[in-house]
Amino acid sequence: NALHWAAQNNKKDTKLIELLLTNMPLTSINKKTRNGSTPLDWAYKYNKSPIKQKIIDLIRSKGGKREEEL
């Protein structure tokens, strides 16, 4: 979903992620891809930006979990 993409690709700010999280149910925040990865997994695995930890903290603050935590 869009949160997967934003968690992976946002490099400068968290505005899009904040917007998505505000308007998504928890089931979408923790939606898994076909291989089982959640948006939080994508942030950990693929985001290499200076704001990576901020993105992780933001997703977690809204109930986001990694695949092994679900």
- Among 49, 42, 36, 38, smallest CA distance to 7 is for 42
CA distance 37 to 35: 6
Q: What is the pTM of this model?
A: 0.95
Q: How deeply is 61 buried, as exposed, middle or buried, from its count of CB atoms within 10 A (0-12, 13-18, 19+)? A: exposed
φ/ψ of 39, rounded to 5, equals -55, -35
Write out pLDDT tens, residues 8-53.
Answer: 999 999 999 999 999 999 999 999 999 999 999 999 999 999 999 9
Please report the pLDDT score of residue 10 as a whole number. 96
